[in-house]
């Protein structure tokens, strides 16, 4: 009897092993952010690869979080928190408690994990729950309880082409099963760079959009060659859009307030300033409310839809320019601070809308979804990866209908 039981045990074990082998492997998810890719760029006729993914998957547009600039929104995409809540409140800001300034130009300083403690990145959650992530150039660092980055991680290098980035991501998918990532985050920057330099209406931007699309096509071909295409979710997003700007649409702070009474923290479409001691009343009287092509608020009185104004890193007074206008001092504007294209404006402005295309086994096919907030990307990622998400401002219910 013991021999018979042993034989039946072997048969049962073999059956279980066969059943396990027959189960499909978990889906891989690749999310690439194309910085500054305005949602309407898809209509320019130079994106055959992205357009094919959109037609066969889900196409929508993302409403960026306020302010509609790069680092706050990239951190929002992977935490589901508004910038007011995760603490990366602008591309440049001050933290008086730390006695330090954060700036996107300070590559060494901004990678200090102390800045990123306000949110837990999706890759940190993945690592904690046994899902291997890989990060190629994503503009966030050290987010999570440990402050560690994934083992598969490349620091941003502006000299690396989009094609080379795709090759690196594909090489990660060639790793043995124990090391192969199931979540890959990638980042392309040239579309944003061209938008600032030449303006979104330029031929140069259209050409760069075409190059980004070609890199996506390279990724699709690489997945097909590896037999991974049908088992991979591809999500293409952006942090914000882009609008045309010019020197002729400049707002001079000097025309509204004595600039000797304020300390300028940031300038541009979104401008933050701090009245000097004893000057609060004068500055408030001069700036608060509608002033030509800008509107200024005390930080705690900003419109609720911006979800912005409570974080201590936000300056006491915040001014927002109308779409296409730039705020600065006469001295700053004289130095040529106005680019041909910019962002940072009201997130509801159509030009600020960012691309969203999703395709793969966890997404429905042929769906055009209404524009939605980028905080909702995080719970969607957690759902398709099978992760228990951290608390966030995002709501899965807002995007569940695009999932299978």
Burial pattern 127-159, b for ≥16 Cβ within 10 A else e, equals: beeebbbbbbbbbbbbbbeeeebbebbbeeeee
359 three-state secondary structure: strand
- The pLDDT, as a whole number, for residue 24 is 54
Contacts of 391 (CB under 8 A, 6+ apart): none
Q: Quick one: how far is CA 375 from the chain centroid?
A: 10
> Beta-strand (E) ranges in 56-173?
58-63, 92-95, 100-103, 133-136, 152-154
Contact 299, 83 (CB under 8 A): no
List the helix and strand counts (H, then E) for the chain.
12, 20
Check if the beta carbon of residue 264 is closer than 8 Å to that of residue 333.
Answer: no
269: its two tokens: 């479409």
Stretch among 12-26, 246-260, 295-309, 351-365 having the lowest mean pLDDT: 12-26
Is it the case that residue 6 has pLDDT exceeding 90? no
Catalytic choice (47, 70, 132, 326): 70
For the segment 360-374, the average pLDDT, to the nearest whole number, is 98
As a whole-number percent, the residues of the chain with pLDDT over 70 amount to: 93
Q: What are phi and psi of 235, to 5 degrees?
A: -125, 125
Tokens of 182: 């199931």
Q: At what angle do helices 203-225 and 48-56 cross, to 10 degrees?
A: 60
- DSSP label of 268: B
Q: What is the pTM of this model?
A: 0.93
Cα–Cα distance measured from residue 100 to residue 41, given in angstroms and rounded to the nearest whole number = 38
Nearest to 39 by CA among 395, 374, 400: 374
pLDDT in tens, 178-203: 899 999 999 999 999 999 999 999 99
Instruction: Give how far the C-alpha of residue 95 lies from the chain's centroid of Cα atoms, to the nearest Å.
Output: 22
Residues β-bridged to residue 244: 341
Instruction: Name the burial class of residue 312, with classes exposed (0-12), middle (13-18) and buried (19+) by CB atoms within 10 angstroms of its CB.
Output: exposed
> Does 114 have pLDDT greater than 70?
yes
Task: Report the pLDDT value the prediction gives residue 26, as an integer from 0 to 100.
Answer: 81
Assigned token pair, 296: 């200024």
Q: Which pLDDT value is given to residue 213?
A: 98
User: For all residues of the chain together, what is the average pLDDT?
Assistant: 93
Judge contact between 235 and 249, C-beta under 8 A. no
* List of domains in the chain: 27-244+346-402 (3.40.720.10), 250-338 (3.30.1360.180)
Helix (H, G, I), strand (E, B) or coil at 128: helix
Reduced to 3 states (helix: H, G, I; strand: E, B; else coil), residue 81 is: coil
The predicted-structure confidence for 139-151, as pLDDT tens digits, reads as follows 988 776 677 889 9
Are the C-beta atoms of 235 and 383 separated by less than 8 Å?
no
Distance between start and end Cα atoms, the chain: 49
User: What pLDDT score does 377 carry?
Assistant: 98
- Catalytic annotation on 70? yes
User: What's the pLDDT at 5?
Assistant: 41
Handedness of CA 308, 309, 315, 320 (dihedral sign): positive
Nearest CA-CA partner of 327 in 275, 268, 378, 402: 268
Q: Which of 284, 288, 323, 283 is nearest to 302 (CA)?
A: 288
């Amino acid at each position: 009897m013991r021999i018979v039981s042993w034989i039946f045990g072997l048969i049962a074990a073999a059956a279980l092993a066969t059943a396990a082998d027959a189960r499909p492997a978990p889906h891989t998810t690749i999310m690439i952010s194309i910085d500054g890719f305005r949602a309407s760029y898809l209509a320019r006729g130079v994106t055959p690869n992205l357009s094919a993914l959109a037609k066969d998957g889900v196409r929508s547009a993302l409403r960026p979080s306020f302010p509609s600039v790069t680092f706050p929104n990239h951190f929002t995409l992977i935490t589901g928190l508004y910038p007011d809540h995760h603490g990366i409140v602008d591309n440049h800001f001050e933290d008086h408690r730390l006695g330090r300034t954060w700036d996107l130009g300070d590559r060494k300083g901004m990678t200090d994990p102390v800045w990123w403690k306000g949110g837990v990145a999706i890759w940190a959650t993945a690592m904690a729950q046994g899902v291997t992530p890989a990060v190629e150039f994503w503009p966030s660092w050290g987010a999570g309880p440990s402050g560690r980055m994934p083992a598969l991680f490349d620091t941003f290098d502006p000299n690396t082409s989009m094609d080379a980035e795709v090759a690196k991501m594909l090489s990660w998918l060639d790793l043995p099963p124990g090391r192969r990532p199931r979540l890959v985050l990638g980042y392309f920057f040239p579309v944003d760079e061209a938008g600032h330099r030449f303006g979104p209406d330029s031929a140069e931007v259209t050409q760069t959009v075409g190059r980004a699309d070609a890199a996506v096509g390279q990724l699709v071909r690489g997945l097909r060659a590896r037999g991974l295409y049908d088992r991979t979710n591809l999500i293409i997003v952006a942090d914000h859009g882009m609008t045309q700007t010019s020197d002729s649409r400049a707002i001079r702070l000097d025309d509204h307030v004595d600039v000797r009474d304020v300390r300028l923290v940031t300038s541009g479409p979104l401008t933050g300033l701090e009245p000097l001691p004893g000057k609060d009343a004068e500055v408030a009287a001069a700036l608060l409310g509608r002033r030509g092509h800008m509107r200024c608020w005390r930080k705690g009185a900003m419109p609720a839809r911006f979800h912005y104004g409570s974080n201590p890193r936000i300056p006491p007074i915040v001014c927002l320019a109308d779409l296409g206008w730039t705020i600065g001092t006469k001295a700053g504007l004289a130095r040529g601070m106005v680019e041909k294209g910019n962002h940072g404006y009201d997130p509801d402005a159509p030009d600020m809308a960012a691309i969203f295309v999703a395709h793969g086994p966890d997404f429905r096919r042929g769906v055009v979804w209404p524009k939605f907030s980028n905080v909702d990307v995080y719970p969607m990622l957690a759902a398709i990866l099978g992760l228990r998400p951290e608390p966030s401002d995002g709501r899965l219910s807002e995007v569940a209908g695009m999932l299978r």
